Amino acid sequence: DMGGHDTYMHKEMSEQPEAVDRVLRGRIEDRFATVHLGGLNLDAREARSIRRVKILGCGTSYHAGMVGAQMIEELARIPADAEPASEFRYRNAVVDPDTLYVAVSQSGETYDVLAAVQELKRKGARVLGVVNVVGSAIARETDGGVYVHAGPEVCVVSTKCFTNTTVAFALLALHLGRIRDLSVSDGKRIIEGLRKLPGQIAEILAGEDEIRKLAGEFAHARSMLFIGRVRGYPVAREASLKLKEISYIHAEAYPASELKHGPLALIEPDVPTVAIVPSDDLLEKNRAALEEIKARSGRILAVAHEKQEKADHTIVVPQNEPELDPILMGIPLQLLAYHTAKELDRDIDKPRNLAKSVTVE
């Protein structure tokens, strides 16, 4: 039942405020400026002994893991990174007892992720899951974890689950941070930011009309570039994937800092750029990148906290705490991908060649 929506994708994007409310519900502990994660199965001593965090997932879940790795590094000050599970399992990676491994999956059934978990477990590693489907194979094989509580996701492309997974990682990062060196006041600041998310997401979704109008301009692009720096980079990666999957327009994501090392050569009027430009400490750097694109007659759509002079259009999104901004900044780009695909009359819920869960190698 699509409840009045024309596609499951549209229904699921619109469910994001409630979904985020669900992943937060019952977990915030104001008294200690932290969160309680019932299924984590990791005591304070163990949490303090972690030297590294390695996050494994595929596709959109890998991108959510990239966001998560940055949150863990920023809030818990533990070196963290994300890697496609499929790459990890084939490169005979060093399995280190002081590393916490985290497997991310909406379905909990993706074979490459499951196989990575099994290999890690066989070698004695500790593996947590950040999973949506309760009782799924990956949820069962991991030692503990955080359920994402996005609710059922029917559309082949993931939207609400991406958002909820990034929120689940914010909770994990806050939890680890408060056991380690994150101050009470920073803990409170993050909790306040988390509480603002559902309302801010609703605000972004209310801007859909503006985005629908923009989509007409991008539907005939030859290719598109998505750029962002640090926190904005995984957002660019995910937005680029979403556009490719449902509109079939070629898109590529790049760190904004790498533009001048190659992709600037692609810039021309029918290769527009989408730039993630939060008002954080990298704002001036990002503005300089917009200037370089503009100087080469590139068209720019910015997703930002304030209007960007160099951009042809700015989608203004509400500002949260800098560490949590990535949760919000991709949402207008889900809508952009959706309306671009509609413009091109694509089969949005069932894109060609793709399946909802990839249970084969």
Q: Is 357 in the site for ligand F6R (CB under 6 A)?
A: yes
Residue nearest to ligand F6R (CB): 59
Side-chain half-sphere exposure of 64, counting CA atoms within 13 A: 31
Give strand pairing partners of 93. Answer: none
Q: Is 234 in the site for ligand F6R (CB under 6 A)?
A: no
Contact segment (CB under 6 A) with ligand F6R among 52-60, 174-182, 197-205, 299-307 equals 52-60
Give strand pairing partners of 62. Answer: none
Per-position x/- string for 8-47, each x denoting binding to ligand F6R as judged by CB under 6 A, each - no binding: ----------------------------------------
CB of 330 to ligand F6R, least distance (A): 12
Contact segment (CB under 6 A) with ligand F6R among 23-31, 100-108, 187-195, 298-306 equals 100-108
Q: How far is the C-alpha of 281 from the C-alpha of 287, rounded, in Å?
A: 12
CB of 93 to ligand F6R, least distance (A): 19
Contact segment (CB under 6 A) with ligand F6R among 92-100, 104-112, 188-196, 221-229 equals 104-112
Helix axis angle, 184-205 to 331-343, nearest 10°:
20
| Concatenated DSSP letters of 204-251 | HHTTHHHHHHHHHHHTT-SEEEEEE-TTHHHHHHHHHHHHHHHH--EE
Q: Is 163 in the site for ligand F6R (CB under 6 A)?
A: no
Among 107, 247, 308, 320, the residue binding ligand F6R under the rule CB under 6 A is 107
Q: Which of 121, 196, 294, 356 is catalytic?
A: 356
Q: Is 164 in the site for ligand F6R (CB under 6 A)?
A: no
Q: How far is the C-alpha of 187 from the C-alpha of 137, rounded, in Å?
A: 33
| Per-state percent for the chain, helix, strand, coil, to nearest 5 | 50, 15, 35
What is the phi/psi pair of residue 274, to 5°?
Answer: -105, 125
Q: Which is nearer to ligand F6R, 59 or 228 (CB)?
A: 59
Query: Which residues, at least 6 apart from 284, have a Cβ–Cβ distance to it below 8 Å?
Result: none
Element (H, E) at 19: helix 16-24
CB of 209 to ligand F6R, least distance (A): 24
Q: Is 61 in the site for ligand F6R (CB under 6 A)?
A: yes
- Residue 175 tokens read as 């939890």
Closest CA to 116 of 145, 92, 136, 143: 92
- Per-residue exposure over 86-121, b if at least 16 CB sit within 10 Å of its own CB, e if not: bebbeeebeeeeebbbbbbbbbbbbbbbbbbbebbe
Q: How many residues touch ligand F6R (CB under 6 A)?
A: 14
Tokens 């990535």 found at: 326
Q: Which is nearer to ligand F6R, 118 or 357 (CB)?
A: 357
356 as an active site residue: the answer is yes
Among 34, 60, 163, 247, the residue binding ligand F6R under the rule CB under 6 A is 60
Q: State the DSSP code for 14.
A: H
Contact segment (CB under 6 A) with ligand F6R among 90-98, 99-107, 276-284, 336-344 equals 99-107
Q: Which is nearer to ligand F6R, 157 or 176 (CB)?
A: 157
Contact segment (CB under 6 A) with ligand F6R among 59-67, 92-100, 189-197, 285-293 equals 59-67
CB of 169 to ligand F6R, least distance (A): 14
Among 12, 15, 83, 245, the residue binding ligand F6R under the rule CB under 6 A is 245
> Could you list the residues that contact ligand F6R (CB under 6 A)?
58-61, 105-107, 110, 113, 157-158, 245, 357-358
Enumerate the active-site residues. Answer: 356
